[in-house]
Structure 1
């Protein structure tokens, strides 16, 4: 049995979308951040980092969003959410997924939690603004990568596309230029949310439109 420990709209959203794409039985377990549940003894036994998400597959907990996405794609290869091992397409899927988790996501952490990056609270607005500027540059790169393509690999969806949609969603309230306003990224997001599995995940989490 698969169980996804999640919080609505958090980094658990990408694995949730993929679970819906797979069409396999799974359970959702809310980790209520508003009550500090991510720091509970029970959750920390599953995920010692106290971060969300955690996927439990049988008796094996797995944390880190990208690791969960790759595990699900490999666990259910018939869904075709990752290209075959050793192919050029597989290498590109790795590239974009790791770029999103290693480069884009940390910049979002700075954007949403600027107080963690300065000992002076007065500096938090400047830290946040700088993070948004860096993210704009990252989304310029992704906008170019989508030129002439429906998805990051071309015409075929892979788990990196679900991660990208989540990243675009997180920037929906940028003060300057939300990622959806870039034509290729906006078209990609619109295409993704038309997928029934993606819509089902958003609806199950109670996330209100507009979704990105």
Structure 2
């Protein structure tokens, strides 16, 4: 049975989209009308009560949260080798970095892109909004510095081979493409991103979402 991925171009669906293309499993894309808040509509909320994007349908099962979708896909398709199998050496490291990316780096982007949601009264404290955004960018740059150091001793972030965590990392790098110090400029992280962008699976996912260069 084919998967169904609810998406909006460039949103957190991009990482699972790349994974689906890499796996080669049949799937259908459903574009959400985010401008008209379709992701907050009753039909969508019935599938994903958080009202966030993405959502994956796998037969009768519904999965949301980007890292959960990635882990679900990797474990459903062990032949893809996009995650060390449970109980095997390397599984712990894989989970550590997958969850570091989703629990530490990804939430900081919400402060960067929606700083007004993180101050008391944005109308009364516009300077606080700017400060929150600047602080988030600085913290994100520090987080990517850590990732870059980690990549100085290994080819991929979560294993010695490609995993779904690398797709998540590429998506997060893309979100920082307009930083004063974009993560793509870090030497080891930039090397990995260039390698990923050369993969046909990644190129197909970007093209299907209509994402234009510069990609990161």
Shorter-chain TM band: over 0.9
Give me the TM-score of the superposition, normalised by structure 1.
0.97
Shift of 1:154: 5.1
C-alpha separation in 2, matches of 1:84 and 1:154 = 12
Shift of 1:202: 0.2
C-alpha separation in 1, matches of 2:101 and 2:89 = 19
Structure 2 unaligned blocks of 5 or more: none
C-alpha separation in 2, matches of 1:154 and 1:184 = 15
Counterpart in the other structure of 2:151: 146
Counterpart in the other structure of 2:65: 64
Residue 133 (structure 1) aligned with residue 138 (structure 2): yes
Shift of 1:148: 3.2
Counterpart in the other structure of 2:161: 156
Shift of 1:88: 3.3
Cα RMSD over matched residues? 1.0
Structure 1 unaligned blocks of 5 or more: none
Instruction: Count residues with an aligned counterpart.
Output: 211
Residue by residue, what CA displacement relative to the aligned partner does 1:180-210 show, whole Å, maximum 9, x if unpaired?
0111111111010111001100000000011
**Equivalent position SS for 2:130:** helix
Whether the 8 Å contact between 2:75 and 2:85 is mirrored in structure 1 is no
Shift of 1:60: 1.3
Counterpart in the other structure of 2:215: 211
Give me the TM-score of the superposition, normalised by structure 2.
0.95
